[in-house]
């Protein structure tokens, strides 16, 4: 379930204040997402996070109309998921998205998945999205209206606390890695 209407309420041209973070995506852990351990399969966390990208994209101006008019889209270049608590079938989840950084070609965002039934963080996802020309299938600069909208969002999101899971490096504490 993606709530594009809620994202549209704070979209460009709206008189509504900008939410920080954007918190409009709701879903339920589905039967076909459950693995042999009886909880949400690791791959479906990314599916749920990716589903929440649609209202986030709409919020910062990458609407279907903008994409079709300009022949652009976004691709996910990198995702880093942390699993905080397991989720079971039927659990209600919510995903919020916070802008961490951006330039004319990249958007660095942080997503927080909450277990709405228990009121706890279930997982996080740090995502780097690339602005893409559909004609060349290469990274391209975003149009001014999207960039300016990200600037407006940054004014609000930059005041949010930095998520402790963001920009972490995966390693085994105390292990001496042979290549640094």
Residue 45: CB partners within 8 Å, gap ≥ 6?
81, 83, 113, 123, 125
Per-residue three-class SS string for 93-151: EEEEEEEEEECCCEEEEEEEEEECCCCEEEEEEEEEEEEEECCCCEECCCCHHHHHHHH
pLDDT reported for residue 179: 78
pLDDT reported for residue 72: 98
Q: Is the pLDDT of residue 13 over 80?
A: no
Residue 1: CB partners within 8 Å, gap ≥ 6?
25, 26, 27, 28
pTM, rounded to two decimals: 0.90
pLDDT reported for residue 10: 61
Q: Is the pLDDT of residue 169 over 90?
A: no
In tens, the pLDDT along 131-164 reads 999 999 999 999 999 999 999 999 999 999 999 9
**Contact at 8 Å (CB) between 157 and 109?**
no
Q: What percent of the chain has pLDDT over 70?
A: 91
pLDDT reported for residue 17: 83
pLDDT reported for residue 4: 53
Q: What percent of the chain has pLDDT over 90?
A: 83
Q: Is the pLDDT of residue 2 over 50?
A: no
Q: Is the pLDDT of residue 15 over 90?
A: no
Domain residue spans of the chain: 4-8+20-157
Residue 159: CB partners within 8 Å, gap ≥ 6?
20
In tens, the pLDDT along 19-64 reads 999 999 999 999 999 999 999 999 999 999 999 999 999 999 999 9
Pick the closest to residue 43 from 69, 90, 81, 73 (CA basis): 81
Q: Is the pLDDT of residue 7 over 50?
A: yes
pLDDT reported for residue 3: 56
CATH architecture of 4-8+20-157: Roll (3.10)
């Amino acid at each position: 379930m993606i709530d594009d209407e809620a994202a549209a309420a704070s979209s460009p041209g709206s008189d509504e204040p900008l939410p920080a973070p954007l918190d409009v995506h709701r879903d339920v852990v589905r039967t076909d997402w459950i693995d042999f351990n009886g909880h949400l399969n690791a791959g479906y966390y990314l599916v749920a996070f990716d589903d929440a990208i649609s209202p986030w994209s709409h919020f910062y101006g990458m609407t279907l109309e903008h994409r079709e008019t300009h022949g652009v889209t976004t691709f996910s270049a990198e995702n880093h998921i942390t699993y905080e608590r397991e989720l079971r079938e039927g659990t209600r989840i919510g995903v919020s998205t916070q802008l961490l950084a951006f330039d004319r070609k990249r958007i660095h965002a942080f997503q927080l998945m909450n277990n709405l039934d228990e009121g706890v963080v279930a997982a996080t996802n740090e995502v780097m999205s690339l602005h893409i020309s559909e004609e060349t299938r290469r990274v391209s600069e975003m149009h001014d209206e999207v960039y300016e909208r990200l600037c407006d969002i940054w004014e609000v999101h930059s005041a949010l606390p930095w998520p402790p899971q963001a920009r972490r490096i995966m390693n085994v504490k105390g292990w001496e890695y042979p290549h640094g």
